[in-house]
Amino acid sequence: MKTAYTADQIRGAEHALMATLPEGTLMQRAATGLAAVCADLLGRVYGRRVVLLVGSGDNGGDALYAGERLARRGAWVGAVLAGSKTHEAGLRALLDAGGRVVDRAAIGGADLIIDGLVGIGVSGALREPYARLAEEANAARGTTVAVDVPSGVDASSGRVEGAAVRARVTVTMGAYKTGLLVDPGASVAGAVELVDIGLGAYLPDPDVAALTGGDVDLLMPRPGKESDKYRRGVLGIAAGSDLFTGAAVLAVGGALRGGAGMVRYAGRQAPVAQVRSHWPEAVVTLLDEPSIDHVGRVQAWVLGPGMGTDDWAHELAARVLASTVPVLIDADGLTLVANDRSLLRRAAPVLITPHAGELARLIRADRDDIEAARLDHARRAAAELGVTVLLKGSTTVVAEDARPVRVNVTGTSWLATGGTGDVLSGVTGALLAQGLSCYDAASCGAYLHGLAGRLAADGAPLTAADVATAVPAAIRAVTSAGS
């Protein structure tokens, strides 16, 4: 599992470790790792032009010492001193190695730019001259490497307020920072390289975690010798309407591909006909009234995709939520509970899967604020509503009260197309029906859905049906790697 930490957590671990080491040891370890990554990116170090953007803090010192190492290997290294003060020992080491102080005009001709402007202790918008230097680095032809976090990214949240360095690679020291895994920070961090400086024993419980394929493999339900379709998990799906028949088809498809032993679909006439046509494996119940009395026993429900928001849909939602099994609520189901939050008063677990706009309606917040601070709002919703939250978007996050937020690292921008959320609901619902908790089902469902999207897209546009078709391949990729 990839774990990440806030700036305060990292600083606490650093202070504890520094108390056991000679002064300057951590900076030398960081600079050595940084220089090694930069040398690999340059390929041939001798004669290459490297520009350091040096701020007042320790990141500036890391950049200067890394620049010293590159200069000793024959690189031309120039330092743009942007801060009100400069790490004196680091600057002296650079100059002794043949480096020099330059003005910002050197940025445009650099093969490599090392961003050491600000570190994890700075939040909010970059001030001048840092903001201008960030923009000039972004416009330059050279490769940019950020030290610890790209300048302009809040290390604890991923917020970006104003200008920020767009790095090809971020070399982060000691442990991953939360802001490197969560957009918008993650989108400007590039590839993240972790340098071990010895913090491990001093780190607290993580702020954020990201599942790996191995983690998903360990959590995935597997049928045993005594399994039958009932023991493998029966999922009920209440979705679709005369207007949105496709939502029902896609949710059922995601559930069947996600490993449910049986899928019971309940809906009105038009979506029932479509589900029967596409998925003869599903057990279908035509609802003449908004009741689930004749659907049969299930281990979990998916509620909401394309079902509408009229009185009929509200009554069906109330019946499903009055059951005693876990319920995943998506799409129109979220609109219904946003209008009537009393529907969420139940003893059994609830998993909601909103995008930012749907979450905004649920917790009476501004959509743009949610996009800018996804972690904060997902945590708030989990605590306020008493549910598990899978917040969809450029970074999918899973929040449950009093547990580390999980961040999904799979996926592709091609998944931003109609119907893929319905497939996600089906896949995740299937995992709920097979016995995973809301927290684990949401985390594994997001991982598999994102991986299926990558496999289906392969660099080209896809449809939601393509994603559903690729889910077994995603499961196979995860479970085969772990076996």
Has residue 121 got a pLDDT over 90? no
Has residue 122 got a pLDDT over 90? no
| Residue corresponding to tokens 């998506």 | 330
Q: Are 124 and 232 contained in the same domain?
A: no
Q: Are 142 and 247 contained in the same domain?
A: no
Express each pLDDT in 127-149 by its tens digit: 999 999 999 999 999 999 999 99
Express each pLDDT in 210-253 by its tens digit: 999 999 999 999 887 777 677 789 999 999 999 999 999 999 99
* C-alpha span between 392 and 419 (Å, rounded): 13
Given a contact cutoff of 8 angstroms between Cβ atoms, the answer to whether 14 and 26 are in contact is yes
Given a contact cutoff of 8 angstroms between Cβ atoms, the answer to whether 449 and 457 are in contact is no
Q: Are 441 and 462 contained in the same domain?
A: yes
* C-alpha span between 320 and 159 (Å, rounded): 38
Q: Can you give the three-state secondary structure of the chain, one letter per residue?
A: CEEEECHHHHHHHHHHHHCCCCCCHHHHHHHHHHHHHHHHHHCCCCCCEEEEEECCCHHHHHHHHHHHHHHHCCCEEEEEECCCCCCHHHHHHHHHCCCEECCHHHHHHCCEEEEECCCCCCCCCCCCCHHHHHHHHHHCCCEEEEECCCCCECCCCCCECCCCCCCCEEEEECCEEHHHCCCCHHHHHCEEEEECCCCHHHCCCCCEEECCHHHHHHHCCCCCCCCCCCCCCEEEEECCCCCCHHHHHHHHHHHHHCCCCEEEEEECHHHHHHHHHHCCCCEEEECCCCCCCCCCCCCEEEECCCCCCCHHHHHHHHHHHCCCCCEEECCHHHHHHHHCHHHHCCCCCEEECCCHHHHHHHHCCCHHHHHHCHHHHHHHHHHHHCCEEEECCCCCEEECCCCCEEECCCCCHHHCCCCHHHHHHHHHHHHHHCCCCHHHHHHHHHHHHHHHHHHHHCCCCCCHHHHHHHHHHHHHHHHHHHC
Has residue 465 got a pLDDT over 60? yes
Q: Are 251 and 375 contained in the same domain?
A: yes
Given a contact cutoff of 8 angstroms between Cβ atoms, the answer to whether 388 and 399 are in contact is yes
Q: Are 268 and 183 contained in the same domain?
A: no
The pair phi, psi for residue 416, each rounded to 5°, is -80, 70
Average pLDDT for residues 306-326, to the nearest whole number? 97
- pTM metric for this prediction: 0.91
- Provide the domain limits for residue 463: 213-482
Given a contact cutoff of 8 angstroms between Cβ atoms, the answer to whether 258 and 235 are in contact is no
**CATH number of residue 452's parent domain:** 3.40.1190.20
- Residues annotated within the binding site for AMP are 392-396, 421
- Residues annotated within the binding site for K(+) are 59, 115, 151
- Residues annotated within the binding site for (6S)-NADPHX are 58-62, 119-125, 130, 148, 247, 306, 355, 422
Express each pLDDT in 281-314 by its tens digit: 999 999 999 999 999 999 999 999 999 999 999 9
Q: Are 56 and 81 contained in the same domain?
A: yes
- Last residue of a domain, which of 177, 206, 235? 206
Q: Are 134 and 261 contained in the same domain?
A: no
Q: Are 91 and 224 contained in the same domain?
A: no
> What's the chain's length in residues?
483
Has residue 483 got a pLDDT over 50? no
What percent of the chain is predicted at pLDDT more than 90?
A: 93
The total number of structural domains that make up the chain: 2
Express each pLDDT in 63-113 by its tens digit: 999 999 999 999 999 999 999 999 999 999 999 999 999 999 999 999 999
**CATH number of residue 81's parent domain:** 3.40.50.10260
- Last residue of a domain, which of 167, 188, 206? 206
- Last residue of a domain, which of 206, 239, 263? 206
Q: Are 244 and 158 contained in the same domain?
A: no
Q: Are 317 and 202 contained in the same domain?
A: no
* pLDDT, position 481: 62
Q: Are 317 and 344 contained in the same domain?
A: yes
Express each pLDDT in 350-408 by its tens digit: 999 999 999 999 999 999 999 888 999 999 999 999 999 999 998 899 999 999 999 99
* pLDDT, position 56: 94
Compute the mean pLDDT over every residue in the chain, rounded to the nearest whole number: 95
β-pairing, 2-5 vs 208-210, is: antiparallel
What percent of the chain is predicted at pLDDT more than 70?
A: 99
- Residues annotated within the binding site are 58-62, 115, 119-125, 130, 148, 151, 247, 306, 355, 392-396, 421-422
Q: Are 294 and 324 contained in the same domain?
A: yes
* C-alpha span between 460 and 224 (Å, rounded): 38
